[in-house]
Amino acid sequence: MEDLVLTERPHEHVALVRLNRPKVLNALSNALAEQLATALETLDANGVTRAVVLTGDERAFAAGADIAEFAAVGPRLEVWDRLWSTGLPLVGAVRGFALGGGLELAMSCDLLVVADDARLGQPEINLGVMPGAGGTQRLTRAVGKTLAAEMILLGRELSGREAELHGLANRSVPAERVLPVALELARELAKKAPLAVRAAKRAIGRAFEDSLRAGLDDERRAFYGLLQSADGREGVAAFLEKRRPTWSGR
């Protein structure tokens, strides 16, 4: 089996998890998402890990769900529930693109460090679909309705610097500093009382859990519906054929 996710241990209590599909900008295939969920579950269970840094490479954190796979089998979004249920604090380290499912994964982290020139966005609308892994909910909660609407309805991207300004990221730093700063935050987390960190992480999540769950369910239903619409099929086909889509409104 291909290693779509690589795990290292740069520090006794800190794991570094790297997405590893560089040729397709770490597009989140079903297999990659499965491996990531399994990696987090394994780290969660080993009793040693106290914080995880999640990263991609210098070109991309992740450029979204795998669009080629959309056309073939469709994304299996249930795996995201496994990602969201980890008790470990996650520090996202974003260089390059964090688009679509990539931004949704970044927003699933508890703390986020981004490169000043990173590109964060929800471009699904350009494919004739919409975010399906929490984007409509987490982005709106992070940056507010006004900016979230512009990003989700028009596909506007933010730079890393803008993401920090709008409360989407904790720190925006030069690209070469992203990993060191993320690892430093993870080391700080690892020095805190582990039970307290886990409980506090869960409690932060609960600040909007009921309405978040309902919103996530609605979003997932709408996403799957759009994927099967004529425009959803056209948008995905157009991306793969490297041409502009023509929308029919069906």
Residues taking part in catalysis: 65, 101, 104, 124
Spatial neighbors of 183 by CB under 8 A, at least 6 apart, are 10, 11, 14, 16, 53
Contact status: 162 vs ligand CAA (CB under 6 A): no
Q: How many residues bind ligand CAA (CB under 6 A)?
A: 22
Contact status: 128 vs ligand CAA (CB under 6 A): no
In the chain, the N- to C-terminal Cα span, in Å, equals: 39
Least Cβ distance, residue 111 to ligand CAA (angstroms): 22
User: Which residue in 65, 79, 98, 105 binds ligand CAA (CB under 6 A)?
Assistant: 65
Q: Rounded to whole angstroms, what are the CA distances from 217 to 29, 113, 123, 159, 182?
A: 21, 28, 20, 29, 31
Which lies closer to ligand CAA via its Cβ, residue 89 or residue 223? 223
Q: Rounded to whole angstroms, what are the CA distances from 78 to 156, 166, 170?
A: 27, 29, 28
Which lies closer to ligand CAA via its Cβ, residue 134 or residue 194? 134
Least Cβ distance, residue 236 to ligand CAA (angstroms): 9
C-alpha angle 171-172-178 in degrees, rounded to nearest 5? 90
**Binding letters toward ligand CAA, positions 199-238, x by CB under 6 A:** ----------------------------------------
Which of 173, 197, 183 has the alpha carbon at shortest distance from 115? Answer: 173
Contact status: 185 vs ligand CAA (CB under 6 A): no
Amino acid at 93: A
User: Which residue in 16, 35, 88, 104 binds ligand CAA (CB under 6 A)?
Assistant: 104
User: Which residue in 56, 123, 128, 245 binds ligand CAA (CB under 6 A)?
Assistant: 123
Contact status: 118 vs ligand CAA (CB under 6 A): no
Spatial neighbors of 234 by CB under 8 A, at least 6 apart, are 128, 245, 246, 247, 248
Give the E-state strand segments of the chain in sequence order: 5-11, 14-19, 51-55, 60-62, 90-94, 97-99, 111-115, 119-121, 158-159, 171-173
Contact status: 66 vs ligand CAA (CB under 6 A): yes
Least Cβ distance, residue 200 to ligand CAA (angstroms): 28
Spatial neighbors of 8 by CB under 8 A, at least 6 apart, are 15, 16, 18
Which of 86, 73, 92 has the alpha carbon at shortest distance from 29? Answer: 73
Contact status: 133 vs ligand CAA (CB under 6 A): yes
Contact status: 75 vs ligand CAA (CB under 6 A): yes
User: Which residue in 13, 24, 159, 222 binds ligand CAA (CB under 6 A)?
Assistant: 24
Which lies closer to ligand CAA via its Cβ, residue 104 or residue 110? 104
Q: Which residues bind ligand CAA (CB under 6 A)?
A: 24-25, 27, 63-68, 75, 97, 99-101, 104, 123-124, 127, 131-133, 135
